[in-house]
Amino acid sequence: MPRSLYDTAHGTLFGIALNYQGLLAQRLPEFNAAPYKEPPVKPVLFIKTPNTRNQHDGTVERPTGERLQPGPALAVVIGKRASRVSEAQALEYVAGYTIANEFSLPEDSYYRPAVKAKCRDGFCALGPVLVPTQDIPNPQTLTLKLLVNGEVVQENTTANQVRGVAKLIAELSEFMTLDVGDVLITGTPEGRVDVQPGDRVDVEITGLGRLTNHIVSEQEPRP
């Protein structure tokens, strides 16, 4: 019997920033300037907190006075506790794959706190289903598309990832234990776009189907 996505992917949602070659290339001038002087040498991680969890067909609120950007990404669900695993064995620790739409406010600098930009309620849709690893023999050959109101506005391939799935699992599990149900959101390619209330947003990834969300205005403060 297939496992449900929501039963399986119950753990921590780890985001990986700057994981597409094109995006990294765009930012190189800024990294080579002060104070960094060089691009990051290790994966830059962030967390999507549990309040960000959302699903296929769910609504996403655009905060009043802010810009909202979808983030199409391949999501990897961990199936076996992983501590210091090698890149060669890493894919054995994967339960399956699904689509993530990792919503964000645009981030201009470190001092636009990432948590505030990335952890609004409903800002991480996952779905529609968990696809087992045997159906995705090579996760580095998948096409990602972002569609807004049916029109393709972003398209890329996981072949362009700076670090592929196996390398990410190896590098992360070197310093922290990945647990069953944890989810790696393996990065959004360059070319993020703004979306508006009323827009329908779809992410399609080869073999994983289509994840749909609906953008709405920020709701009135709850009492």
Q: Residue 153: left (phi > 0), alpha (psi -120 to 50), or beta? A: alpha
Q: Outline where DSSP puts E strands in the chain.
A: 13-17, 44-48, 53-55, 59-62, 72-78, 94-102, 124-132, 143-148, 151-157, 183-185, 200-205, 209-217
Q: Which stretch binds a second copy (CB under 8 A): 89-97, 113-121, 134-142, 207-215?
A: 113-121
Out of 21, 47, 157, 206, point to the residue binding a second copy (CB under 8 A).
Answer: 47
Distance (Å, whole) CA 133 – CA 73: 17
Least distance (Å) between residue 119 CB and a second copy: 5
45 versus 153: smaller Cβ distance to a second copy? 45
Least distance (Å) between residue 113 CB and a second copy: 5
Bridge partners (DSSP) of residue 148 are 151, 201
Out of 2, 40, 106, 198, point to the residue binding a second copy (CB under 8 A).
Answer: 40
Least distance (Å) between residue 140 CB and a second copy: 23
Residues that bind a second copy (CB under 8 A): 11-12, 14, 31, 33-36, 38, 40-47, 49-52, 63, 83-84, 109-111, 113-116, 119-121, 175-179, 221-222
